[in-house]
Amino acid sequence: MAEKPIQEEKKVFMTGNEVIAWAALAAGADIMYGYPITPQNEIMHYWTRLAPKYGKKFLQTEDELSAGFTTLGGVLAGRKSFSATAGPGTTLFQEPLSMAEMMRIPAVVIIQQRGGPSTATVIYSQQEVNMVTYGGNGEGWRVVYSTATHQELYDYTIKSFNTAWKYRFPTFVLGDGYQAKMREPLVMYNPEDRGIEMVDPVASVGLPGIPGKDRSAVHLRNTYSVEEELYDATMPIQEDYDRMAKEVVEWDERNIDDADVVIISHGVVSRAAIAAMNRLRDKGIKVGYFRPITLRPFPDEQLRKVAEKCSNFVLVESALGQLARLVKAALFNMPIEKFDAVYKPGVGITAEELVERIENALK
């Protein structure tokens, strides 16, 4: 038995992609399947260097369709399997992920968002929100954690394996090229040492015994003959999803109680939002902050509670309204004082511009 990748808690300073490779090891991932695309490449680079030392495996596939479907195969064989992609690769991943939703296959996929549409930039965006939350020909039966810091990349990569295997929905960690490539300090740890119980994987196929004799054969399908049969198969999945949603939904909110204006953001942009809030508070402007951490399931109720206290919103994202669509759906039918938006598709957002924007709006 290879020794544990992380022996004791340690402070490190590294890029986000390296963090994810270490976190996958710490989570007990067995195998990664992947296809090169910037800005996620270094996840594979670090994984292929680290994996053999700990008896783990890697397969470089012919494309992201294959990366997705081989990942599903790995899960069906009962191994903690994951992949990583971005941009056009995320597009190709929708097909395997829709199969995972239908057949309850707990695949874990890391998305490092790059500019879109099309090939666009290899650098950064928040433009894969639509696709990661509701892509594929289905109902969005996935869990999406949108991270903001390297510590979160570590924590939520570990958590994504547990969420996937506990609830059997495909699970995404949604980062971006900035998080992928920048260096930042964080603490790495062994999850068990912190009392985090890791959920063991279970095999769907290749169980012991002769099928039809010692046990029944496993027959897994995604095709149904008639409408009612499909309805009967899908409604329990939605019920499971709703039950799970209450347990996995996560958000962060600050300074809501006395707020005159609330900034809504997710992912790395929320760091600019926090900085802007603090600077404006120093100037006596009462700014609050709300950030969904799970984009699926979305913290609808939590956001509605915020809106009951303050509904003068400024929404900021590095996309043209992808987060806004989720937010507006959550706030449906509520009286809203103001909904200001800062949309910068594929471009970073600074605290300074938010400070200026909010100050001007309040003048």
Q: What string of DSSP letters covers 40-94?
A: THHHHHHHHHHGGGGT-EEEE-SSHHHHHHHHHHHHHTT--EEEEE-HHHHHHHH
Binding-site member from 182, 187, 205, 233 for another protein (CB under 8 A):
205
Q: How far is the CB of 344 from another protein (least distance, A)?
A: 36
160 binds another protein per the rule CB under 8 A: no
Judged by CB, which is closer to another protein: 58, or 251?
58
The dihedrals phi and psi of 362, each to the nearest 5 degrees, come to: -85, -10
CA of residue 131 relative to chain centroid, distance? 12
Q: How far is the CB of 95 from another protein (least distance, A)?
A: 6
71 binds another protein per the rule CB under 8 A: yes
353 binds another protein per the rule CB under 8 A: no
78 binds another protein per the rule CB under 8 A: yes
206 binds another protein per the rule CB under 8 A: yes
Judged by CB, which is closer to another protein: 209, or 236?
209
Binding-site member from 2, 118, 219, 333 for another protein (CB under 8 A):
219
User: Which tokens hold the place of 265?
Assistant: 């953001």
Binding-site member from 61, 130, 149, 311 for another protein (CB under 8 A):
61
Binding-site member from 17, 40, 70, 160 for another protein (CB under 8 A):
70
Q: How far is the CB of 330 from another protein (least distance, A)?
A: 32
62 binds another protein per the rule CB under 8 A: yes
Instruction: Answer for the pair 174, 267: CB distance below 8 angstroms, yes or no.
Output: yes
**Is residue 262 helix, strand or coil?**
strand
Site residues (CB under 8 A) for another protein, limited to 25-44: 30-31, 33
**Given the rule CB under 8 A, which of 18-26, 156-164, 220-228, 303-311 is the region that contacts another protein?**
220-228
Judged by CB, which is closer to another protein: 95, or 260?
95
**Given the rule CB under 8 A, which of 110-118, 190-198, 212-220, 302-310 is the region that contacts another protein?**
212-220
Binding-site member from 6, 12, 50, 65 for another protein (CB under 8 A):
65
221 binds another protein per the rule CB under 8 A: yes
Instruction: Answer for the pair 28, 80: CB distance below 8 angstroms, yes or no.
Output: yes
Q: Residue 311: how many CA atoms within 13 Å on its side-chain side?
A: 15
What dihedral do alpha carbons 268, 17, 37, 322 form, nearest 10°? -20
Q: How far is the CB of 33 from another protein (least distance, A)?
A: 6
Instruction: Answer for the pair 56, 82: CB distance below 8 angstroms, yes or no.
Output: no
Q: How far is the CB of 191 from another protein (least distance, A)?
A: 22
Instruction: Answer for the pair 95, 102: CB distance below 8 angstroms, yes or no.
Output: no
What dihedral do alpha carbons 169, 18, 129, 299 form, nearest 10°? 60
The dihedrals phi and psi of 184, each to the nearest 5 degrees, come to: -160, 150
94 binds another protein per the rule CB under 8 A: no
Judged by CB, which is closer to another protein: 100, or 264?
100
222 binds another protein per the rule CB under 8 A: yes
Cα 292 to Cα 159, 267, 289: the distances in Å are 16, 8, 10
47 binds another protein per the rule CB under 8 A: no
B/e letters for 242-262, b = 16+ CB within 10 Å, e = fewer, are eebbeebbbbebbbbeebebb
CA of residue 349 relative to chain centroid, distance? 20
Binding-site member from 55, 208, 236, 284 for another protein (CB under 8 A):
208
224 binds another protein per the rule CB under 8 A: no
Question: Is residue 65 exposed (0-12), middle (13-18) or buried (19+ Cβ within 10 Å)?
Answer: middle
Q: Which residues bind another protein (CB under 8 A)?
A: 30-31, 33, 57, 59, 61-63, 65-66, 68-79, 81, 95-96, 99, 203-213, 216-223
